[in-house]
Structure 1
Amino acid sequence: MSADSDFRFSEEFEELKHVGRDQPCTFADLPCNRPKNRFTNILPYDHSRFKLQPVDDEEGSDYINANYVPGYNSPREFLVTQGPLHSTRDDFWRMVWESNSRAIIMLTRCVEKGREKCDHYWPYDTMPAYYGDISVQILNESRYPDWNISEFMVCRGEQQRVVRHFHFTTWPDFGVPNPPHTLVRFVRAFRERVPPDQRPIVVHCSAGVGRSGTFICLDRILQQILVCDYVDIFGIVYAMRKERVWMVQTEQQYICIHQCLLAVLEGKDLSGSSREIHENQGFEDDEGIAESGM
């Protein structure tokens, strides 16, 4: 990238700073809901927030810090949320279940630089764990150098579903992957396994804005360049920021999106799939998972 392009990116990013910020976040700021927010300044807009099914007459029981965000295939393709707190992980699984989501994208580690960024909201072993009335069991896990892909059996009552969990493990908070095209390969690995009609897709980092917005923007770009020779990165980020605050949080992340697109256009090490370094099979084989409707 040249100095001229860096200057242009700075100007564009400056224009994005206040997009959407005049929209109300009334429900997020109710006294009963404030403790459910990981950060006091990152709150979901009222108009696009995901509403949980209310529990009896419990005030705030429909609240979770999450917004619908547009993707390439649908205006509500993604459900973007914060990394669950220990106190909100039951709500997180309610959202996954009630939205009928079959894929979760995790873009943070649970602990970074000695600080908790996200609760470990899934089981540690192959025994089922309960989150409220929802049970989650790991079926299998595949480990790659920069990410892990797991499949969970999620059950509520007599119903059960398989949900895929894509965990990108080498993305620093506020920063960008190094090299950037590692993220391109992760997005492609995700899209190989999740078809466009399978939505919404739950996406989170720690706050659910910077890394999450960068991932969604790149996913849109990679699909768009297959059918079109024009990509409006500024417009994509603008549209996301109308639905959730601070999507693509830093200028460095905004530049990273352009670097990823450039790497794709130049064909830099993007065609091969990453080598799997470990696989731990659970109780189901691949055929059993396929028969579960995934």
Structure 2
Amino acid sequence: MSNAIPGVPAWLKRAHNAEHISEVLQTLAKRERTRMAARAVSRHQSNPSKRHRMSHLVSSLAANSEHVAHYSISAGSDPSNEPLNRYADIYPYDRTRVVVCPGEPNHECPNACTSGRYLNANWVRELAGGKWWIATQAPLPHTAHAFLSVILEGISPPPGSSMSNLRHVNRVRTIVQLTQNLEGGMRKAHIYFPPVEGQSWVIEPGPEDRQDHPIQVTLTRSQTLDHAHCIQSVVTLQALSLTRVPVGEPVVFQHLLYASWPDHGVPAREDREGLLHFARIVDEANRDLSLYIGIADLDPNPPIMVNCSAGVGRTGAFIALCSLLRHYRLLSPPTAQETKIPPLPPSPLGPLPEELQEDMVAQEIDSLREQRPGMVQRDDQVIMIYETLIAAFASSGAGEDDA
């Protein structure tokens, strides 16, 4: 199919065959198994229960000390943080995890901050596109306050980034949700803002965060965009004192819910065009400064926070797709600041095999899995990235035949 579409890069034409796809899936799975073994040892060290000791006996045979240190998940698997994880097998890597920092508005928290609040979230950067994202699990009732504090409070900066003002200049202004709140009768995401325009809720801090301010959450406006299978909402946050008096200035963000991506699956082929529309709406919304008139020096394209339910499968596939769309100018290109970011550190597993060196989908997925465990969780999600990227070229005619 791809050979008949003008503008499809040469590597994507060569990649779109069953033998190559099989090699990609096997190679990526093998490398992720090595990471999993290292994570299992790290988890055992943080929580040495009998069950974990048994997994340690197996995983330690396949994990060396360098891998264990690099792929450590000690914070997420610490018993004190276990209740804050939505799933018992999804923990953030320590070296890229997002820490919600305490303190006054000018407080700066180093990336290695251990005194901040735990959130099951990682900084991840697009390999091809260069953009920073926060990949996170969907909120639980007792983690919704920490989740919203990513926007309202300070957080640890991305590793290797020059961002230093995540309370103001580089503040997250867009949240992308790739799961329905309920799917198949199962709760996949906790609802943290009201469904009626003008209505407000108060989100209380969790039991371990009682020193933090309650947050008033108001739905300012909402609209359904049928062509993108999307609900786009504007939400206002306001910190409150214990007596419910506003503290500081209100903060506004946009929430974009994509409604056609089933759990443990991929959007149907007839919905792929809508997914591409959705990716462009996310990009445009994040660059929209019309809600912030009078606020100077804002980052024109700040980090985006994205979640599905676990924050790995659908979340990873969407970031990978956006990265490649951005690289080929099918989304807005990265800002000047983003193009100056140094390369991501090399994997201790070494590079992908030579036959996959030109395959940008394989490279992108492997890079994302270095930054958050299990990104792009399913084989059909990997294949969907190839197919949707080809569809994007087909609809736009962009790209170079010899790229």
Shorter-normalised TM-score: what interval? 0.7 to 0.9
Partner of 1:149: 232
CA deviation vs aligned residue, 1:129-187 (integer Å, no higher than 9, x gap): 12232222111111023110011112232212220001001110121111233321210
SS at match of 2:302: coil
Q: What's the offset of the Cα at 1:263? A: 0.4
SS at match of 2:33: coil
Question: How many matched pairs?
Answer: 265
User: Is 1:28–2:76 an aligned residue pair?
Assistant: yes
Match of 1:135 among 213, 216, 224: 216
Larger radius of gyration: 2
TM-score, with length taken from structure 2 = 0.61
SS at match of 1:63: coil
Partner of 2:324: 221
User: Is 1:101–2:204 an aligned residue pair?
Assistant: no
8 A Cα contact 1:9 1:254, kept in partner:
no
Alignment of 1:210-289 (within 5 A): 210-226=313-329, 232-267=360-395
Alpha-carbon distance in structure 2 between the residues aligned to 1:269 and 1:224: 15
8 A Cα contact 1:137 1:154, kept in partner:
yes
Q: 159-168 or 4-13: which moved more?
A: 4-13
Greater helix fraction, Structure 1 or Structure 2: 2
Amino acid at match of 1:151: V
1:267–1:5 CA distance, 2 compared to 1 (3 A): farther
Gaps of 5+ in 2: 1-15, 39-70, 104-113, 154-165, 205-213, 240-246, 288-298, 334-357, 399-403
Partner of 2:312: 209
Alpha-carbon distance in structure 2 between the residues aligned to 1:73 and 1:200: 13
Q: What's the offset of the Cα at 1:91? A: 1.1
8 A Cα contact 2:312 2:375, kept in partner:
yes
Q: What's the offset of the Cα at 1:199? A: 1.9
Alpha-carbon distance in structure 2 between the residues aligned to 1:163 and 1:134: 14
Match of 2:286 among 188, 194, 207: 194
Match of 2:187 among 116, 136, 150: 116
1:148–1:231 CA distance, 2 compared to 1 (3 A): farther
State the Cα RMSD in Å.
2.5
User: Is 1:159–2:242 an aligned residue pair?
Assistant: no
8 A Cα contact 2:236 2:251, kept in partner:
yes
Amino acid at match of 1:18: R
Partner of 1:64: 119
Q: What's the offset of the Cα at 1:4? A: 3.0
Amino acid at match of 1:216: I
Query: What is the percentage of aligned positions where both structures have the same residue?
Result: 28
Q: What's the offset of the Cα at 1:241? A: 0.9
TM-score, with length taken from structure 1 = 0.82
SS at match of 1:193: helix
